[in-house]
A and B are shown apart, each in its own frame.
Chain A
Amino acid sequence: EPEVTQTPSHQVTQMGQEVILRCVPISNHLYFYWYRQILGQKVEFLVSFYNNEISEKSEIFDDQFSVERPDGSNFTLKIRSTKLEDSAMYFCASSGDRGHQETQYFGPGTRLLVL
Chain B
Amino acid sequence: SQELEQSPQSLIVQEGKNLTINCTSSKTLYGLYWYKQKYGEGLIFLMMLQKGGEEKSHEKITAKLDEKKQQSSLHITASQPSHAGIYLCGAAPRGSTLGRLYFGRGTQLTVWP
Contacts and interface: CB of A to CB of B under 8 A. Distances in A.
Chain A interface extent, by class:
20 to 34
Most buried by A among B43, B98, B99, B104: B99
Interface string B79-93: 000000000101010
Contacts of B102: 45
Contact of B40 (A55, A104, A107, A111): A111
A69 to B, nearest CB: 16
Interface string A32-65: 0101000001111100100000011010000000
Contacts, number: 66
B52 interface: no
Interface residues of B, number: 25
B41 A108 contact: yes
B100 A91 contact: no
Interface of B: 30-31, 33, 35, 40-45, 48, 50, 88, 90, 92, 97-106
Given A48-B100, A101-B50, 10 more contacts: A35-B101, A43-B101, A48-B99, A55-B98, A56-B100, A91-B43, A99-B99, A104-B99, A106-B45, A109-B41
